[in-house]
């Protein structure tokens, strides 16, 4: 059954796959330099590296997950199924795209219902803008219908501004998120979709019961760019490169928020993952490369992620780190321009080095 939300989901996928929708600005991880672990007596090899970590109280094989992308159209079901098969095989979590479509049209639930086929750690997804209309009861049902393990609430004001059908009323968005976190018996993660979380927003979330924050920083897929392809106006070109790069957003978020933090936004290599973990991320989310890889089925996704894991291990050998905790203890240097920006943002980098691992597990 065709409807506006469902059609938009498919359009987004098509544009993301076919057009140039990446940020021109980088994720700023190139300005992070890790200093190898100098501990003697360590001999790190590919065979004795342990990448396992805890995600939502469950052990996963590597500190990566497949970030939520899609659902809500019959053609997106196969994508989610391929992702689920790969996530199950690799024992890493996966996210769903916004589930608004299945709340509006129950018959689209199947496009998200991957746990019917594969046992995975599943992150549900709804927009903060939808919480005006849909309260705890509806959200709970939405999560139960797909057997989700947690809920990501995405906030995307830049995308909504450009989107022809965008919702431009974010009044009470924070209170609505707070209310859901208070009333729903699910772990709630606030996520941006590519424009980043600042320390001001992260700090504000400390006063809520949310479980974690996903940076959703700039440097990868650009949702403003995607929506610019859907609109006939060029009025919003001025915000095409708007946002906080992922490395900056991760540091700001970790500096201000002491719970679960994941880094997404332009994560494209094992080196990006290693740097993000060292900066205090619990795990890293990857999206666009997975969307490309799934064109070759679940095997394409598995092949891609195995390459990322291999890259992570190679970097850890160079850094003399044999596990995730070793990574979190590494010292690092931050180069300009990122260093200069963090100083302007009043981030004490020495203090950050000390506190980045002191988060509630």
Partner 1 sequence: MIQNIKFIHCALPDIDFNEISIKQKIKIKANNKIKTISCMPFAVEIKSKNTKDINKQIAKINIQKNIALFFTKSKFFIFINKHIIEFNIKANKKNTDQFNPNNAIIINNGLDAAKCIRLKQFPILSDINKINLIEEQLKVVMFLTNSKNIAQLALAPIVYVV
Q: Which residues bind partner 1 (CB under 8 A)?
A: 128, 155, 157-158, 161, 168-174, 177, 192, 195-198, 200-201, 204, 216, 235-236, 238-239, 242-244, 336-337, 340-341, 344-345
CB of 260 to partner 1, least distance (A): 17
CB of 157 to partner 1, least distance (A): 6
For partner 1, the closer CB: 105 or 203: 203
CB of 250 to partner 1, least distance (A): 14
DSSP reduced 3-state for 344: helix
CB of 271 to partner 1, least distance (A): 24
**H-helix segments, 19-124:** 74-90, 100-104
DSSP reduced 3-state for 195: coil
Distance CA 58, CA 113 (A): 21
DSSP reduced 3-state for 122: strand
Contacts of 19 (CB under 8 A, 6+ apart): 225, 226, 229
CB of 128 to partner 1, least distance (A): 7
Distance CA 276, CA 258 (A): 16
Biggest CA-to-CA distance, the chain: 63
Report the interhelical angle of 4-18 vs 223-230 (nearest 10°).
110
CB of 168 to partner 1, least distance (A): 4
For partner 1, the closer CB: 118 or 170: 170
DSSP reduced 3-state for 74: helix
For partner 1, the closer CB: 36 or 337: 337
CB of 337 to partner 1, least distance (A): 6
Structural contact between residues 193 and 220, judged by C-beta atoms closer than 8 angstroms: no
For partner 1, the closer CB: 149 or 192: 192
Instruction: List the one residue out of 223, 157, 302, 184 whose CA is nearest residue 19.
Output: 223
For partner 1, the closer CB: 6 or 249: 249
For partner 1, the closer CB: 57 or 344: 344
- CB atoms under 10 Å from CB of 321, counted, come to 27
- CB atoms under 10 Å from CB of 58, counted, come to 11
CB of 226 to partner 1, least distance (A): 17
For partner 1, the closer CB: 101 or 224: 224
Distance CA 59, CA 196 (A): 27
For partner 1, the closer CB: 123 or 244: 244
Give the Å distances, CA to CA, from 38 to 6, 41, 104, 321.
Answer: 53, 10, 56, 10
For partner 1, the closer CB: 157 or 297: 157
Burial zone of 218 (CB within 10 Å; 0-12 exposed, 13-18 middle, 19+ buried): buried
Structural tokens at position 3: 């409807």
280 φψ region: left (φ > 0), alpha (ψ -120 to 50), beta (else)? left
DSSP reduced 3-state for 148: coil
CB of 28 to partner 1, least distance (A): 12
């Amino acid at each position: 059954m065709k409807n506006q939300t469902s059609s938009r989901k498919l359009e987004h996928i098509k544009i993301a796959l076919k057009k140039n929708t990446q940020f021109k600005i980088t994720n700023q991880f190139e300005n992070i330099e890790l200093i190898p672990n100098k501990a003697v007596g360590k001999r790190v090899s590919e065979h004795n590296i342990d990448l396992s970590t805890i995600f939502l109280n469950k052990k996963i094989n590597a500190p990566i997950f497949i970030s939520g992308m899609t659902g809500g159209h019959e053609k997106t079901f196969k994508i989610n199924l391929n992702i689920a098969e790969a996530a199950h095989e690799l024992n890493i979590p996966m996210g769903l795209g916004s589930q608004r479509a299945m709340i509006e049209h129950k018959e689209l639930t199947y496009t998200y219902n991957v746990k019917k086929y594969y046992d995975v750690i599943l992150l549900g997804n709804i927009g903060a803008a939808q919480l005006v209309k849909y309260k705890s009861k509806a959200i709970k049902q939405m999560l139960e219908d797909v057997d989700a393990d947690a809920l990501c609430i995405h906030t995307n004001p830049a995308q909504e501004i450009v989107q022809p059908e965008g919702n431009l009323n974010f009044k009470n968005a924070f209170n609505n998120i707070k209310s859901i976190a208070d009333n729903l018996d699910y772990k709630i993660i606030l996520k941006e979709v590519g424009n980043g979380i600042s320390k001001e927003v992260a700090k504000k979330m400390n006063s809520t019961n949310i479980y974690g924050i996903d940076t959703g920083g700039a440097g990868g897929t650009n949702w403003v760019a995607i929506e610019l392809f859907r609109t006939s106006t060029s009025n919003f070109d001025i915000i095409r490169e708007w946002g906080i790069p992922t490395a900056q957003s991760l540091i700001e978020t970790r500096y201000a928020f002491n719970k679960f933090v994941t880094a997404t936004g332009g994560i494209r290599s094992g080196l990006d993952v290693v740097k993000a973990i060292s900066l205090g991320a619990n795990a890293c989310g990857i999206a666009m490369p997975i969307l490309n890889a799934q064109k070759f089925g679940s095997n394409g996704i598995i092949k891609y992620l195995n390459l990322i894991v291999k890259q992570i291990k190679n970097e850890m050998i160079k850094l003399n780190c044999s596990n995730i905790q070793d990574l979190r203890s590494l010292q690092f240097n931050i180069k300009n321009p990122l260093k200069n920006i963090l100083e302007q943002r009043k981030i004490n980098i020495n203090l950050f080095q000390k506190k980045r691992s002191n988060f509630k597990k």
